[in-house]
Chain A
Amino acid sequence: MSNTDDTKKQESRRNFLKLATVGAAAAAPGLAEAQQRRGRNAAVPAAPPEVEPVVPNELKNFKTAPLPPINFPMTGANLFGRACLAEGVGAMFCCPGNYGVINAVANHGIPSYGGRHEGTMVSAADGFTRASGVISTTSGTEGPGFTNMISGLAAAYVARTPLLLVASNMRVADDDTERGIQVMYQQPLTEGIKKWGKRLITPNRTAEYLSYAFRQLKTGIPGPVHLDFTAEVANYRIQNEAELGYYGKKALYRTESRPAPSAGDLDRAMSLINAAQRPMIVASTGVFYNKAWDALKAFAEKAQIPVTESGPQFGRFPHDHPLCAHAAGGSYASVDLVILVGQYCMPTAGEFAFPPAAKYIRIQPEAGDIGRNMPIDVGIVACENLTLQALTDRVRGTDRAAWINEVATAKRAFYTQNDEYYRIGKGYTDAVHPAVIAKELGDFLYRGKLPKEQTTVVSGGYGIARYVRRCLEAHRPGQVINGAYQFGSIGPDVGYAIGAAAAVQLGAGTQAAHKGAPVVNITGDAGFGISGMEIETQAKYRLPVINIVYNNNAWGTWNTYANAPHALHMYLFQENVRYDKMAEALGCHGEYVQTPDQFLPALQRAYDIARTQNIPSVINCQAKKEFWLREQFAPGFLGKTEPGITSYYH
């Protein structure tokens, strides 16, 4: 749907053609549905060229089909499916290939999603786990399917996402031969971007190695695990339960026990906390994966310590809480004690805005990382949840009104700055300025008709992210997915949105209370070019994602090379590319927004379609590349402060 004159003309021509060829159109599959979602009269007949994508019955009805019985003797692939079910793997995202394994996972009733590119499927698994806290798996075929997965895996690694990447591999018996196709070693390629990995080559030890994999996924600092299934292992037949030994029972091969903080460590932390005048907690990745948000709130409230966030998702501490310092970046240079809780991806000196004189307490479950990049004053090797509970027991109520007031003043200054950006952005009327998208999206999600804690948002893109982030809020865990995070990829956002939307659709983990709600994804035109085809996957599974594409006709880094004509062309796209029409062609709803006043109505329409029909949308926001030039179009490309609302490096 579009508001432009041009498109209106095209649409009326299309309607004319439809009317001119009555009869044949009535049989066009999916047409009535498509017309209904575009608000047209479904009774008006149309022409065959207007055939629209339809969801076939095989896709509509598979959930009602009974699961096949899986008994011994079972294949190594089925054993994997069985282990995933027992360990609570929440979903699988894959492309065909590794057939035995993906079918086994699906046949065990684990929600499974098949997409278009293995790389975005890894991002989908990452998005699922980051939004829900529930582990996921992702699969690709040997050779090219696997190599497609590498960027997604690297991003999951820096985000410390506990996801299980599996790929098939050819027969061990064919190693080094180049027999057939796709013979390769996989594990060396994922060196440095996985927590743990194993090429499975000994068929009768498969169960044992699955226990290694789940121990890695479920304990300590999380991270992705990479398994490659050689043909001998995937096809091996396990005769009976006894053959598995104790590796068939998770209570025997891993523990739920968590390290508790020692009394001495707690005493040392307490004396720093008691001496501090302006302490701040940075609640990061470990707070999320250890479900420590209640303990965090209890501690912060009792100790009267402001809390900011960092990491691959936000919402560990509600952003409208009086102690929330997430948007109070201007106060960070006042802090005298930083309490890093589960900050796994660690900045170096000068990257966080805390001043050089600040002292540091670091809390996390593994000692090996404490002291990396920054000197510590107290290191506590323990589960974040247990430590926050223990600190709450010990801490005394303290009056920090002056400090909390300073934080509140900084927050107000930040929001005043946002209002000012919005005022300026609204003034540019011939294209959509990012400040308009940011502010109006924020008002729509948190100050309009929707419950403010409802909508999960993937905060992706590049230049657009620096505006939109400023206006996003998280009122419960997993509400905001912080884009590509430290790996800084352009492109995975549509994939993250598939995973986040699947988590919401299933009501997985932290998304339980918001089951079925629409999800918002923000991305850039360069990013959309990389993974935009996956909106077909969103449509196929009726994942109600509103994809907002910031279309500035360029890779956002163009401006550095603005005066280099032989280079500049490499950074630019055709202008006015119609991602909205692409969306319509792929079974989604499309909106083309060219002026600021068109944005909110388009958002409302897309939201209504998502809510009532579960159909995803693309809102193609036509901007211009020059919005990144501060001298011409203030405020230009924005900087950032870390940690907190504008952060994404650490």
Chain B
Amino acid sequence: MTVEDVLQGYASRGLLRNFQAVSGDFGFLWMNHKPMRLQWKPQTRTLVFRDVAPNVPSRSPMDREIRAFLSGLASADRPPHRRVDPAQFELFAENRKSQVSIGLRLKDGSEAEAAEKLMLVIHEVFLMLHDRWLEYMHEEFGASLE
């Protein structure tokens, strides 16, 4: 299974809307009304949710918290279905001009596993943001403040 197969599966279940795939560059609507962009680079075996958290100044408390949250996902005390195993995947966050992208570099795991994992990671990142950064979610994603 390819990354596209995995995403296509979500699209045909109706979870992803407006699904578009153009040579490893995928666009869709999922949570939060904002189009999301996922890139798969087979050369570097890297899968990235591009600019998934906009307007987060680098080295800000929120930036640091996102990074700490991601490192926590590799922790050995997490159950396997919730863990990003560092032996298989390297989980990373990049902040370019205050746009945070979150991705996985494959070491050992498969392309399909990586796509499933990253979808779950992004889901969990947004759970964390809803829980910890309510005003941010309100301002950037129109979530209710109340």
Contact = CB atoms under 8 A, between A and B. Distances in A.
A462 interface: yes
A350 B13 contact: no
Interface string A606-640: 00000000000000000000000000000001111
Contacts of B31: 349-350
Contact of A637 (B79, B116, B134): B134
A557 B127 contact: no
B131 A333 contact: no
Interface stretch (B45-53, B84-92, B94-102, B118-126): B118-126
A596 B123 CA distance: 38
Contacts of A640: 130-131
Contacts of A649: 144
A333 B82 contact: yes
B26 interface: no
A85 B81 CA distance: 55
With most chain B CB atoms within 10 A of its CB, the pick from A406, A560, A639 is: A639
Q: Which secondary structure characterizes the binding site on chain B? A: helix
Contacts of A406: 79
Contacts of B130: 639-641
A355 interface: yes
A619 B5 CA distance: 59
Contact of A560 (B13, B14, B132, B145): B145
Interface string B64-89: 00000000000000010110000000
A278 B82 CA distance: 12
B131 A278 contact: no
A557 B126 contact: no
A191 B124 CA distance: 38
A334 interface: yes
B134 A356 contact: no
A334 B82 contact: yes
A355 B126 CA distance: 11
Contacts of A557: 145-146
B38 to A, nearest CB: 13
A134 B130 CA distance: 36
Contacts of A375: 13-15
A641 B127 contact: yes
Contacts of A462: 146
Contact of A278 (B15, B81, B126, B132): B81
Interface string A478-502: 0000000000100000000000000
Given A334-B79, A375-B14, A557-B146, A356 B120 contact: yes
Given A350-B30, A557-B145, A637-B134, A333 B123 contact: yes
Contacts of A355: 119-120, 123
Contact of A639 (B14, B82, B134, B146): B134
A639 B123 contact: no
Interface string B124-141: 101100111111001000
Contacts of A356: 10, 15, 30, 119-120, 123
B32 interface: yes
Interface string B5-30: 00000100111000000000000001
Contacts of A252: none
Contacts of A181: none
A173 interface: no
A357 interface: yes
A350 B126 contact: yes
Contacts of B13: 375
A333 B15 contact: no
A639 B129 CA distance: 9
B32 A488 contact: no
A585 interface: no
Contacts of A17: none
B144 A349 contact: no
A357 B32 contact: no
B131 A560 contact: no
A641 B120 contact: no
A353 interface: yes
Nearest to A278: B81
Interface in A413-429: none
B127 A353 contact: yes
A350 B146 contact: no
A640 B143 CA distance: 13
A488 B79 CA distance: 36
A334 B130 CA distance: 18
Contacts of A353: 127
Nearest to A462: B146
Nearest to A350: B31
A638 to B, nearest CB: 8
A583 B11 CA distance: 57
- What 5 A-B pairs come out closest when comparing CB atoms? A350-B31, A639-B131, A375-B14, A356-B119, A488-B146
Given A355-B119, A355-B123, 13 more contacts: A278-B81, A333-B120, A333-B127, A350-B31, A353-B127, A356-B10, A357-B119, A375-B14, A375-B15, A402-B79, A639-B133, A639-B134, A640-B130
5 contacts: A356-B119, A357-B119, A375-B14, A557-B146, A641-B127
